[in-house]
Structures are given as C-alpha cells and as structure tokens.
Amino acid sequence: MKVVGITGGIGSGKSIICSVIEKIGFPVFYSDKEAKEILVSDKDVINKLTSLIGVELYKDGVFHKEVLANKIFNDPSIKEKVNHIIHPKVREKFSQWVNLQKSSIVFNEAAILFETGMYKNYDATVIVTAPKPIRINRAVKRDHTTKEAVENRIKNQWTDEDKIKLANFIIVNDDLTLVIPQLEKVLLSLDN
C-alpha cells in the first residue's frame, strides 16, 4: 500500500480534488476534519488546551474557534504548542485508519503537510495549486469572510513555491486547466 500526502493552501481546491479521488475509489483521510473533531471530543486535548489558552476557549462547554485563532495568529509559540498537542492525536488516528484500508493507494489530506515535516513519512506527496486571486475568491465565498482575513491566513502559510520544491506531484486547479487528466497521470504514476 502506498501512502500519499495531499496538500494545498487555502482556497486551492484540495478538498475538491480529494472528493474526486474518493469517487475514483481511493480512500482519503482528512486530517483537518479529524483535528476539528479532536478539538471538541478528546478530553486530554481539551484539558491541555484549556491549560494553555485559558477557560475562555471552552466557555460554557462550547469550543470557541475564534479564541484559539486569535491566540495562534498573535503568538507563534502558542501555535507551536497547540500543534504539539493536536498533531500526535491526528497522526495516531491516521495510523489506525490506514491499518483498516484495503486499497493499493491511500491519501492523507492535510493543510500543513510540509510545515510539520510529515511529508517525509509518505511514499509521495501531491500539492494542489491555484493563483492567489482565485484562492482568495474561493475562500471568501466558502467561508463567508473578508478578502483581508483570507490574505492574513495566506501570509501564515508556506508559499506554493516552497511546497512545490518538496512535492512529488503538482495539480494545477486554476479553473482553466483540466484537473481530471492531471489526477489520472498522478494515479498512474503512483500505481506503478
């Protein structure tokens, strides 16, 4: 079984590409969705984050995403500590998931695949790219947010250029280039 990491910056369309991969018949583990689930269900994580961030993070028994986002974006050391709490749990869930799969290729969708160094643990990596204006427009529409908020998130991510240097495959999702032929080429290469 080949384990493939797939990533892309905000608004690149990596989730759309992953849904196509699933429709083709290959399983995809969504790290970001799993992390969100862990944030609200794992008591160990909740306790550690409450100690780190403060009781306002889970005020009235409800997870307050904006409190975490504010702390992370204003203090890189907090971001690193939060990652050290959540990422091992996500990796553990991923390992359990992989052991249950029967496919010749499995995919792990993760927004920060290269930033965490996890790309080294995969047989191959794929980056989904799109021009910055397209990414911003997609994210604004999807998240019902402002252009400025999306630009701030992009500033806090590695550039596509940095990720491309480490990726084995690139899928251009610019609304002009056909995605399916690119994906087929990746899958054919992986299946050999």
Q: Provide the mean pLDDT of the chain.
A: 93
Q: Right CATH number for 1-27+104-192 from 3.40.50.300, 3.30.1490.110, 3.90.1150.60, 3.40.50.620?
A: 3.40.50.300
Residue-level pLDDT at 152: 84
User: Where do the structural domains in the chain lie, given as residue ranges?
Assistant: 1-27+104-192, 32-100
Residue-level pLDDT at 191: 83
87: closest CA among 113, 106, 62? 113
- pLDDT of 42 over the 80 cut: yes
Q: In whole angstroms, give the CA distance from residue 49 to residue 68.
A: 9
- Inter-residue contact 103 to 21 (CB < 8 Å): no
> In 3-state terms, what secondary structure has residue 170?
strand
Helix H or strand E segment including 15: helix 14-24
Residue-level pLDDT at 57: 94
Tens digit of each residue's pLDDT (9 = 90 or more) over 76-129: 899 889 999 999 999 999 999 999 999 999 999 998 899 888 899 999 999 999
pTM of the model: 0.89
115: closest CA among 85, 49, 160? 160
Tens digit of each residue's pLDDT (9 = 90 or more) over 131-165: 999 999 999 999 899 999 899 888 878 899 999 99
Residue-level pLDDT at 76: 82
